[in-house]
Every structure is written in C-alpha cells, then in structure tokens.
Amino acid sequence: MKQNKKTSLGILFALSIFGLFTSCAIHPVAWQPPTKTEFIGTTALNEKLKSAQIISLNGWYGPEDILFDEDGNLYCGVHTKETDFSDGKILKIDSNGAIEIFYDARSWVAGLHFDQAGNLIALSHKEGLISISPQKKVTVLATKDENGKPFLIPNGLDIALDGKIYFSNTSDVSAYTIKYGRKVILEMNPIGGLYFYDPKSGKVKTLIDGTYFGNGVVLSREEDYLLMTETTKYRVLKYWLTGDKAGKTETFIDNLPGFPNGISIRADGSYWLGFSTKRSDALDKIHPKPGMKKFVYGLPNFLQPKAEEFGMVMNISAEGKILHSLFDTTGSTLAEAGAVKEHGGYLYIGGDVLPHIGKYKLENESKVEITNY
C-alpha cells in the first residue's frame, strides 16, 4: 500500500514537472467569451445529418475543402494519417467513387477553387498559394505577405470575377499540428490574417492583419464584401470591398454555439456555415484565466481534453441570421462538419480529421443550386 502511494506521488510529481516545462512554451491571454446561447428556435437540435451517405476516402483523412469541376468530379485536400498533417495530397473522386491522386502536395491542402482559366488554385501548407493547370503544371503564386510574414497555415479561399484571389492564413508562426492547433485556441493571440492576391501584378495585399484562427473565406453574391470565420472567437467577420465602407471590418454574426470552420455561398445569397464541433463549457470557463490555460496545455496528451464528436451545419442569411440548422449530435455519421459545399441537391460535408465525406440530401431545406463550385 505504501509503495502504491509512493508510486502515485511519483507519477503526480513527474506530471507536474512535465507540465511546468511544457507550459513555458505557451503565452495565453485572458479572454471572456460571450455567454453561450441555447440550442433553440432555428438552432434546435435534430439528427438530420445522421442520414448522410458516406463517400470513402480509402484511408485518407481531412477533406477540409470540397470542390466540383464541370464534369461533376469532386476534389479535396487530405492528409495521410489521422493525427499527422505533415504529408498530404489533392484527391479527385469521380461520380462512381473512384479515387485518383490529382496532385501530390506533400502536405495538407486546405482551400480549393477553380479560376476562370480552369486552373485549380489551392492553399498548400508546404508551398503556400499555388496554381495547378489542367496539365498539372504547378506554379507557386505566393508564400508570404508583403511584409514577409509566411503563410504557414493557409486556410480558406475564394476567387472574384476579376480574378483576385482572397484567402486566409491561420498562423505565420508555425505549421499545423494538433498540439499547435490546441495552443492557438488557448493562447487567443491574433497571429493570422486575411489577404488578396492580384494575378495581374503578382502581389499580395493584407486586408486584415491579425486574426483569431482565421479560417473559411467566401465572397458575397454581389462581391461587395467578404466573409471570414474566426474559429476561436465563435464568430464570422465581414470585410467590405466596395461602397462607403470599403476597407472596413465588422462582425457578421457573433456568439455562435460552436467553432466555425468552412463557409460557402448558396445561389440565393445565403451561406452554409460548417463547424468543427460545439463549444466547450470547460474551455469557456478557463479562457479568462491564463494560468489555468498554461496548466491545461502542459498536461500530457492522454490527459488533454478532446474535441467532442458533434456534427453541425447552419444556413445563415445574407443579413447574418441563422435560418435553420442540421446536426449529428453524437457524431456517429459525421463527427465534425467543418467543410460544407452544396452541389446537385446535396450537401457535401468534410472536416479536419474525417476519414470520409458526408453526402446529405437536401429535402426540407430550400433546394437551390450553388454556382461556380
């Protein structure tokens, strides 16, 4: 019995020392999250996403963005292992589910979009903003902003009719790992940004310098503003491109019930907003306490809190109101729903570590087709 107590004390001491040294690597700030709203009204819980069909990725993980070409082929960026984002590909999946490697990116690829010339514009975590021609010739467009800050976790992407490419970067400090993602969430420091690349000049311009886990990006139907999700702040920002407010940033929707990730537009001008998971009461409680956040970050991986499996997608109006919501509250079919794209009467859903893509048939929701995706 004495030996067991000594062993337990020894383990606790070792964990304390481990946590002390590890916590030195994190510099969190205090942040008071807004009071979480309940799942009622247009966010009332349901299990609609459980009915989604599954498109296998044959052992690949992390379809963070989903794209279709004119022939109906699906494209997505993936990584090779569930918890390892250091190597990845762009997959091409035909209507029969046959998979081919479209591009060996040697890293995870997040944002994807075709330009008017048919080039696949992508955000590679290794090469930055790249263009892949129909003949699969790869051109690196940008690896850093005009001030020399590198795009280490380039994320969301959209292209305007004039060819300008708008995109986000989550961090200019480090490449992505699950541990580093946890650090970004806990620190609450503005280490990302929103940018555009002008293919005519070949130059990058910063639109917002300093974002909180800047993620999905989408242009409005009239291209008068741009939306970008800020995952750790539970909100979506609006950046005005034209009019009297051009160059100004405001909050489009705030105090969301989860971690917003990908965002895409519908033909009616409303948006699909995907979430990595719902909010954590425990995380919200420690956000105002930097010391507690250091302690939590210093815990060994097996003691670290895990994201809850919870699929959630919301349809948001052009005015920033939640119209209706889709859920898989146990994550049995869709453990996350970070990527969301509408095509052919279906909603295609992916996520950072999902091993498949969900295909949800839109029945009771308004059936409109998205264009240029």
Residue 287 exposed, middle or buried by CB count within 10 Å (0-12, 13-18, 19+): buried
Instruction: Round to whole Å and give the CA distance between 151 and 127.
Output: 9
Residue 371 lies in a domain: no
Say how many domains are in the chain.
1
Residue 369 lies in a domain: no
Mean pLDDT value of segment 21-35 = 83
CA 328, 331, 332, 336 torsion-angle sign? positive
Cα-trace Rg, the chain = 21
Residue 368 lies in a domain: no
For 81-132, the pLDDT digits (tens) are 998 999 999 999 999 999 999 999 999 999 999 999 999 999 999 999 999 9
Tracing tokens 């942040």 back to the chain, one arrives at 31
Residue 370 lies in a domain: no
- Give the full edge-to-edge strand order of the sheet including 235-240: 214-219, 225-230, 235-240, 249-253
Instruction: Round to whole Å and give the CA distance between 245 and 239.
Output: 9
Residue 313 exposed, middle or buried by CB count within 10 Å (0-12, 13-18, 19+): buried
Domain range enclosing 38: 2-361
Helix ranges, 113-229 (H): 178-187
For 189-237, the pLDDT digits (tens) are 999 999 999 999 999 999 999 999 999 999 999 999 999 999 999 999 9
In the predicted model, is pLDDT for residue 22 greater than 50? no
Residue 81 lies in a domain: yes
CATH code where residue 107 lies:
2.120.10.30
| Among the listed residues 198, 251, 196, the one whose alpha carbon sits nearest the alpha carbon of residue 227 | 251
Q: What is the pTM of this model?
A: 0.91
DSSP state of 350: E
Query: SS3 sequence, 209-258?
Result: ECCCCEEEEEECCCCCEEEEEEHHHCEEEEEECCCCCCCCEEEEECCCCE
Residue 272 lies in a domain: yes
Residue 372 lies in a domain: no
For 137-182, the pLDDT digits (tens) are 999 999 999 999 999 999 999 999 999 999 999 999 999 998 999 9
Mean pLDDT value of segment 34-62 = 97
| Percent with pLDDT over 90 in the chain | 87
What pLDDT sits at residue 364?
A: 56
What pLDDT sits at residue 24?
A: 57
Residue 201 lies in a domain: yes
For 53-70, the pLDDT digits (tens) are 999 999 999 999 999 999
Q: Per the structure block, which two tokens stand in for 234?
A: 């539970």
Tracing tokens 């005005």 back to the chain, one arrives at 240
The DSSP-derived string for 298-327 is HS-GGGS------EEEEEE-TTS-EEEEEE
